[in-house]
Amino acid sequence: MDMSTHAPPLHAALDYCARKLLAELERGPAALSDPTLAHRLTPTTAGLLRWWFTVEYCNTRVDNFHAGQRQAILHTVLAHELFQTDDPESLYRLACDPVRAWAAAPPASACPNRSAGYALRMASGSGLRWVAQALLVWQWANHIAARTSGLDDPRFSSHFLLTAATAAVRMRLQDALFGTTDAQGQCDVVRSSPIRHAPLFLPPSLRAAFGDWLARQTRCADHERALHIVDVAGGSTASSSPIALVAGVGDGKPDGERHAHDRAVGSRHPSSLCIDLALSQASMAPCAGSTPIAEFPLQRAIRDGAVKLPMLEPTQHLRTPPLRAIPPRPTGLRPRLSRVHRSLLGIGLDALSRRDAGFVALDSARRPKLLVLCDAPHVIRGVRHALTTSGLDKSAIAARVVIDLLPEPVTATDACICVIVVLRTGTGLRASTTLLAPALPPLWPEPDFTVLRSENRERAVLGRAPAHLIDVLSVVEHPQCHADYDALLRAGLAARGGGPNGTDAVGDLIVTGLRADADAFEIALPGLCDGQTDNADRLSDLSHRFLRARLSMPVRKSVYTHAGWSAHDNGLRRAFLECAECDPGVESHCLLDPRRHAMRIRDSLLAQGITPLRFPDALVRTVDAVYLVDFLPSCPAQPQPAGPSERAFIRWCARTNALPAEQRAHRPWHRVQLQAPLFWSWKRSEGMLSALLAALAGTAPFARRGRAATTAY
């Protein structure tokens, strides 16, 4: 095969291999003696991948890697650690035949003493920094584990060089890895991204050591640091990747007089690893001529909900002259905007104001911003003058509006930017879709908003305007530039706005907080660790929740004012809430959020190496007991033996019931599995929920109203 003329779909082959690897990891450590791929990973890598990507861990936290980040991380691990090559043809053949990979891949000691380079192409705003941080943790953790075992594995290193294409990107990387600096110039590592998002990046066993390592990097002298972050000083960003991670650069600081990018890709240590995190644009050259091993273009990022959904604000009604090539104007002209530019700016300000009240009501820290891109300095002055004369003071402009010249392809991103206004005076400039990069990161990335983003994408496929503005990027462009979005519009990956009053900011999303007398309905879950009682997890520790108005109801017997259910629920949870509300035997209840409730209990279990338990769906306190309720879709034909998670919860309940009465709400705790058919039958017979739970827990006879008591179920 001539690789120069017929390059294989390398990323597709690696994606096939990555799916096989994840399937093996999902089966757990007990199955790792048989699989083709997973047993060839180091124990450290297998543990990290299981922590990052398997369902049992992903379901216990708010932050998770999206599909593009997962692809980039897995493909790099496969190529460098398992297949140990960066040759495109070899990678393609090994990825297509994992059995051959097992038999033919050399052992770690035979890894050639040369550098390896991989290019990862991802859409702008789709989380390049998180990928770089995860790969850094992967390299560091494996190097530390090998050194602890007295081994020298040339695939891994704890010395790194992060190269940024611009000074702005470098500053963002420094803030992410070292934390923001205070007034005295000191870094707060506690605020660094890997530590703030430790439930994602770091298993409990690595958190303290990695935090100490980061803190040492901020305290030691430059020449003693193991982690350097530099930018391509004076280099052109047009062909540079936003971020390049080089592992194995030695323990001395590279020569400061040499070009940063040359240091990263041309003069690395012979056994170093170079990874370029490049934008998914054809004009961008990958690291050292490497074939990209991961591809996550803008179209897929929008489809997967990894970035905001672009929405063209209607400007066709404006009477605008056509754009044409014109010479640059003198710099000394009065700062006045043309009528067309004033109209476009006004539409952008309206789009910003439509979001403001709704977004602030959900979270005051996520106030939306407006980005105004101008193609000439005199237009920038005109924008500032127009904003000032419109009544905005300088502080409001600085906090809510970002004004800049049309940027280079590589630029710093800001998730708070929700509106982009492009003011052009001529043609010959970059296409409109490439200008979206600064504003593409989602402002509301939590799982609470996943369904809302999906609904808007479904409406875009049907050619309809979004139903709300959660993670919708308003784009205000000259009508002549709307043609740049035709491909996205045809694919259903962009939408057309419905006018200034056509779309509500947050749809039917509401924030439910704690009720005034929440303490009366509190249920504290004791945290048990090594036989000792930790501080209990309280329901009110989660002070507010995001709910859909049409998928929620007001409740009286909960710490929250409202309770909600999933859009895919079959009605069981709503009926369960209604029964709990009208049952005089139920004192308090709560549908649990598996990603946010009882985090301390989960962390204490994880710290002991215990797999996360299957979290109960609901918590109910009656006058006699506290029940941890699981909803099951059907009744088993015959009694099923308790699985590991069930047995663990039975032990947890037994240990809880052995505590002093005041630490367990003066009631015994019981685990209950509530089958949907049984619940509906019980509800039709007008039975009390508290009696049903007691019967299922084996503490009361199983009886329905109007029928004789039978034996316990």
Give the pLDDT score at 529: 62
Query: What is the mean pLDDT of the segment spanning 669-697?
Result: 93
- Which pLDDT band, with edges at 50, 70 and 90, does 685 fall under? very high
- Which pLDDT band, with edges at 50, 70 and 90, does 253 fall under? very low
pLDDT tens-digit series, residues 593-609: 888 888 888 877 777 66
In this model, does residue 429 exceed pLDDT 80?
no
Query: What is the mean pLDDT of the segment spanning 242-258?
Result: 60
In this model, does residue 564 exceed pLDDT 70?
yes
At residue 293, φ and ψ (nearest 5 deg) are -100, -5
DSSP symbols for 210-233: HHHHHHHHHHS-GGG-SEEEEE-T
Task: Round to whole Å and give the CA distance between 355 and 505.
Answer: 5
Enter the pTM of the model: 0.89
Q: Which residues contact 268 (CB under 8 A, 6 or more apart)?
A: 115, 246, 248, 249, 274
In this model, does residue 58 exceed pLDDT 70?
yes
Which of 57-71, 167-181, 391-405, 644-658 is the least confident region?
644-658
Q: Which residues contact 88 (CB under 8 A, 6 or more apart)?
A: 3, 7, 8, 10, 291
In this model, does residue 713 exceed pLDDT 60?
no
Give the pLDDT score at 708: 40
In this model, does residue 456 exceed pLDDT 90?
yes
Give the pLDDT score at 184: 74
**Domain range summary for the chain, segments of one domain joined by +:** 42-89+106-296, 305-321+333-507, 512-696
Q: Which two tokens stand for residue 681?
A: 């039958």
Q: Highest mean pLDDT: which of 168-172, 329-333, 390-394?
A: 168-172
Q: Residues 200, 61: contact at Cβ < 8 Å?
A: yes
Q: Residues 473, 418: contact at Cβ < 8 Å?
A: yes
Helix axis angle, 88-96 to 10-26, nearest 10°:
40
Q: Which two tokens stand for residue 553?
A: 């109801």
